[in-house]
Amino acid sequence: YAGWRKGIDPEPERIAVKKRVFREALAAGVPICFGGDVGVYSHGDNVYELELMVEYGMTPAQAALAATSGNAAILGLDDRGAIREGLLADVIAVEGDPTVEISALRRVRFVMKGGEVVRSS
């Protein structure tokens, strides 16, 4: 966002174009996955990207699916992406419903990774 102060400065054309292209891709049925290795946000701050996906036109449920089963499908990882017997899964529990309010993912209360509880509050 290169110095643009959201909510303070007028929206730059480059941001308006990103939103428009994202919405067009979504409307056209283009599979949209979550994440990347470009260093936009620090590890653990991924919720910012999910919030932008919602701001740009996805429902919170669509964004949550993009980050889970959507990524698995796009990457051909049939052994993960859902909570089902026989699949690999790391699990989190949050305060609130992220399929209604994506920012609920900021309120992580429980984490299970590789079958081990690593956080419980």
Q: By percentage, how much of the chain surpasses pLDDT 90?
A: 66
Average pLDDT along the chain: 90
Q: How does residue 121 score in pLDDT terms, banded at 50, 70 and 90?
A: confident
Percent of the chain residues topping a pLDDT of 70: 94
Half-sphere exposure of 27 (CA within 13 A, CB side): 8
Sketch the domain layout of the chain as residue ranges.
31-120
For the domain covering 31-120, report its CATH number: 2.30.40
Token pair recorded at residue 60: 């919170």
Q: Residue 37 has what pLDDT?
A: 67
CB 114 within 8 A of CB 90: yes
What is the per-residue pLDDT for 42?
72
Q: So what's the pLDDT on residue 30? A: 95
Q: Tens digit of pLDDT for each residue in 14-56?
A: 889 999 999 999 999 999 988 876 666 677 788 999 999 999 9
Per-residue pLDDT reduced to its tens digit, 50-103: 999 999 999 999 999 999 999 999 999 999 998 889 999 899 999 999 999 999
- Which residues, 6 or more positions from 45, have their beta carbon under 8 angstroms from its beta carbon? none
